[in-house]
Chains A and B, each alone.
Chain A
Amino acid sequence: MSHPKLANIFLKNEDRVNWHDKALWFVREKRDAAVNKVKGWEELREVAASIKANVLSNLDNYLLQFEENAIKNGIKVHWAKNATEHNEIVLKILQENGAKHLVKSKSMLTEECGLNQYLENSGIEVIDTDLGERIVQLANEPPSHIVLPAIHKRKEEIDALFVEKWGIKGGNGNAEYLTREARKHLREKFLIADAAITGVNFAIAENGGFVVCTNEGNADMGTHLANIHIACMGIEKIIPKMEHLGVFLRLLARSATGQPITTYSSHFFKPRPGTQLHVVIVDNGRSQLLGRPEFRKSLHCIRCGACLNTCPVFRKTGGYSYESVIPGPIGSILGPGIDMEKYNSLPFASTLCGSCTDVCPVKIDIHSQLYKWRQIISPKKGTSIKKLAARVTGKIFGNPILFRLAATIGTGFLRFLPGSLTKNLTAWGKGRELPKVPKQSFRDWYIKNRKE
């Protein structure tokens, strides 16, 4: 379904829409407060963008350097062209070690690859351990936001979900009670897990290490208890040097939630003695995107979610209206790059106000890229009604007699047609009032008054 159709479903519950809108705007305000405290924030963004630009122009060498150093540190490195290969590699590691119980911390890449479903089909128990992700997993839903996966759910719904799935007593939606119950439940899962999967926020070429950021401590609870750690990363997660983490860690959490840093920023270099550490490097279309100069910069993305929180369209239509793994403005430029047919409505889910571009910590020109996608998609979509309307309008506007005739008929109709009909003719009419139709056209007024 297209974005407008899915948005209509979300918009049916006005209370939820208003709550969603406000909750995300609150996060945006926290971001602003945090950002304003940093001296040289704009320069920091510049530095980050220039590091990312260098990375993309030398990506092959950085990846090879990363691999060489990681192997020296005892990390096993795997390469996956696409989602299928990625899933097969992970399953093979698990099967070779007889692993049955897997705990996962947040990774948008594994969502992109559909890993959970794939592993479950092979009899592996997969437990998402980020609270928001666990909530949507229990509800059998995908995340609706890349940083706040369950932002579309109200506390009473989460309460009911935990009661149903875990048989606990209800807590009237008390967040602290529900979080404690989830802690107990997840503890049990951490303690029996054979393997842990994490994403990668940053991978360091010069020393083969990588960094995982969480607030809940779930990545660390998983990886330091299980005997196998598999970290999955897109090829664009590389940074050249360890010192660059200083730049990116200053930007990431402030942009994401308004915190100066996440609670835990865990740096992995070597496996814990007696255990295995694997890194799976995944392309899945990214190297193709690298070859499109106008959209290349979208590979700068560090998945902070700031563009989602600030976007008036995202706030009012929710993550599910996008139908892509990454929703919101950044998802609307990544989506069509993956499947232009499927995601052809996403670049239009924007007012092009540019707020996304303003908040992006790595200076992706998001709204310009949305506009560029529209220029590619519109001709292919063959928007025949719009074209026809434009042609007819052009004819009418180009001919004074036709124009006067049409204006007279039009204003006449508007005066008598019921509002319910005119308002529903176009999407723009919904929720808006037409101005009052004047008794007289300007031309008639001018002719009359000039004569007097």
Chain B
Amino acid sequence: MSKNEIIASIRKNKPSLIELELPDYQQFREDIDTVSLFKRQVNEAGGRVIECNRGDIEKILSDNYQNASEVYSLIDEFKPLDNRSADDEPSEYKNLDLVVLNGKFGVAENGAIWVPDSNLSQRIIPFITRNLVLVVIQESLVANMHDAYAEIGNFSEGFGVFIAGPSKTADIEQSLVIGAQGALSLTVLLVSD
């Protein structure tokens, strides 16, 4: 019954209706090179970008992560023989060394990459792994967060996350440390088809 009391109290105390204006997002549009800005922002967020063609993905991953102990890839271009299964309990991924996922699209202004449930088999995997690789198609890049939500549109999945760089903290004397509780590194494969 607290619900009714709270709602009643709000009704008693709220001001008269102030209409919701439709924001003009066009005023925030900038003439920018989305690819170079996106690359710069991923770097500033502590990640790295490798530009490549789709055909190079397997070689790049094999070369860069040949010592990875536990690998889990959800992209078609890279299927290691000892790939993890999708049915494991979340905590069973605790020793993951490398996770490779498709990002839905990237955002130039902040280097963030949208990863929804449909690109994941378990929500935990991009966070619990030591190293994360996200594959982003260059043509998918949008300029800013207004465009990003226009791109997402009517979202009907259970979960989605913007990931900008590896996990980080500055809680000890404001010194930035890359690698807090989530992934220790982020590599973005920026693919031009």
User: Which single residue of chain B is at the shortest CB-CB distance from A283?
Assistant: B6
Residues of B within 8 A of A63 (CB): 6-7, 10
B52 contacts A by Cβ under 8 Å: no
Contact residue among B14, B23, B171, B183 (Cβ-Cβ distance under 8 Å from A58): B14
Alpha-carbon distance between A86 and B24 when the two chains are bound, in angstroms: 39
Residues of B within 8 A of A216 (CB): 167-169, 180-182
User: Which single residue of chain A is at the shortest CB-CB distance from B157?
Assistant: A269
A39 contacts B by Cβ under 8 Å: yes
Flag B90-129 by CB within 8 Å of A: 1 or 0 each.
Answer: 1100100000000000010111100000000011100110
Contact residue among A56, A79, A135, A242 (Cβ-Cβ distance under 8 Å from B6): A79
The answer on a CB contact under 8 Å between B158 and A272 is: yes
Flag A267-311 by CB within 8 Å of B: 1 or 0 each.
Answer: 111111000000001010001101101001000000000000000
Alpha-carbon distance between A155 and B174 when the two chains are bound, in angstroms: 10
| Stretch of A144-152, A352-360, A422-430 on the interface side | A144-152
* Contact of A291 with B12 at beta-carbon distance under 8 Å, contacts A247-B23, A263-B166 already known: yes
Flag A10-28 by CB within 8 Å of B: 1 or 0 each.
Answer: 0000000000000100110
The answer on a CB contact under 8 Å between A178 and B167 is: no
Within residues 198 to 256 of chain A, which ones have a CB less than 8 A from any CB in chain B? 207, 209, 215-218, 220-221, 223-225, 235, 240, 242-243, 245-247, 249-250
* Contact of A263 with B30 at beta-carbon distance under 8 Å, contacts A155-B173, A296-B15 already known: no
The answer on a CB contact under 8 Å between B109 and A260 is: yes
Contact residue among B16, B21, B124, B144 (Cβ-Cβ distance under 8 Å from A224): B124
Flag A360-376 by CB within 8 Å of B: 1 or 0 each.
Answer: 00000000000000000
The answer on a CB contact under 8 Å between B123 and A220 is: yes
Q: How far is the CB of A306 from chain B (nearest CB, A)?
A: 15
Within residues 5 to 62 of chain B, which ones have a CB less than 8 A from any CB in chain A? 5-7, 9-21, 23, 25, 27-30, 41, 44-45
Alpha-carbon distance between A55 and B44 when the two chains are bound, in angstroms: 34
Alpha-carbon distance between A380 and B28 when the two chains are bound, in angstroms: 47
| Stretch of A45-53, A381-389, A396-404, A433-441 on the interface side | A45-53
| Stretch of B63-71, B78-86, B133-141, B146-154 on the interface side | B146-154
Residues of A within 8 A of B2 (CB): 79-81, 85, 283
User: Which single residue of chain A is at the shortest CB-CB distance from B4?
Assistant: A79
* Contact of A264 with B162 at beta-carbon distance under 8 Å, contacts A63-B7, A259-B45, A287-B9 already known: yes
Q: How far is the CB of B163 from chain A (nearest CB, A)?
A: 6
Alpha-carbon distance between A191 and B161 when the two chains are bound, in angstroms: 21
Interface size on A, residues (CB 8 A): 91
Alpha-carbon distance between A6 and B109 when the two chains are bound, in angstroms: 42
User: Which single residue of chain A is at the shortest CB-CB distance from B182?
Assistant: A217
| Stretch of A92-100, A180-188, A315-323 on the interface side | A180-188
Residues of B within 8 A of A23 (CB): 173-174
Q: Which of A27, A224, A250 has the most CB of B within 10 A?
A: A224
A57 contacts B by Cβ under 8 Å: yes
Residues of B within 8 A of A245 (CB): 145, 149
User: Which single residue of chain B is at the shortest CB-CB distance from A74?
Assistant: B158
Flag A401-423 by CB within 8 Å of B: 1 or 0 each.
Answer: 00000000000000000000000
Residues of B within 8 A of A270 (CB): 157-159
The answer on a CB contact under 8 Å between A47 and B23 is: yes
Alpha-carbon distance between A268 and B158 when the two chains are bound, in angstroms: 6
Residues of B within 8 A of A288 (CB): 9, 13
Contact residue among A40, A151, A217, A242 (Cβ-Cβ distance under 8 Å from B28): A40
Q: Which of B3, B12, B25, B183 has the most CB of A within 10 A?
A: B3
Alpha-carbon distance between A53 and B16 when the two chains are bound, in angstroms: 10
The answer on a CB contact under 8 Å between A221 and B20 is: no
User: Which single residue of chain B is at the shortest CB-CB distance from A272?
Assistant: B123
The answer on a CB contact under 8 Å between A250 and B145 is: yes
The answer on a CB contact under 8 Å between A267 and B13 is: no
Alpha-carbon distance between A272 and B124 when the two chains are bound, in angstroms: 10
Flag A132-172 by CB within 8 Å of B: 1 or 0 each.
Answer: 10010000000000001111001100100000000000000
The answer on a CB contact under 8 Å between A224 and B94 is: no
User: Which single residue of chain A is at the shortest CB-CB distance from B123?
Assistant: A224
User: Which single residue of chain B is at the shortest CB-CB distance from A247?
Assistant: B23
A116 contacts B by Cβ under 8 Å: no
Residues of A within 8 A of B157 (CB): 269-270
Contact residue among A225, A240, A263 (Cβ-Cβ distance under 8 Å from B45): A263
Q: Which of A39, A178, A223 has the most CB of B within 10 A?
A: A39
Alpha-carbon distance between A452 and B2 when the two chains are bound, in angstroms: 84
Measured CB to CB, the residues of A under 8 A from B are 23, 26-27, 38-40, 43-44, 47, 50-51, 53-54, 56-60, 63-64, 73, 79-81, 85, 129-132, 135, 148-151, 154-155, 158, 173, 175-176, 178-180, 183, 186-187, 190-191, 207, 209, 215-218, 220-221, 223-225, 235, 240, 242-243, 245-247, 249-250, 257, 259-272, 281, 283, 287-288, 290-291, 293, 296
28 sample A-B contacts, Cβ–Cβ < 8 Å, listed by A number: A26-B174, A50-B18, A54-B20, A58-B20, A63-B10, A79-B2, A81-B2, A131-B172, A132-B171, A155-B172, A155-B175, A179-B171, A180-B179, A187-B94, A215-B170, A217-B180, A218-B181, A218-B182, A259-B45, A260-B164, A261-B111, A261-B164, A263-B163, A266-B159, A266-B160, A270-B159, A272-B123, A283-B6
Q: A50-B18, A272-B123, A290-B10 are in contact. List 17 more A-B contacts (CB 8 A).
A: A57-B16, A57-B18, A132-B171, A135-B171, A150-B172, A179-B180, A191-B94, A215-B169, A224-B90, A224-B124, A224-B128, A242-B149, A260-B111, A264-B163, A269-B155, A270-B158, A287-B12
Measured CB to CB, the residues of B under 8 A from A are 2-3, 5-7, 9-21, 23, 25, 27-30, 41, 44-45, 90-91, 94, 107, 109-112, 122-124, 127-128, 144-146, 148-150, 152, 155, 157-175, 177, 179-183
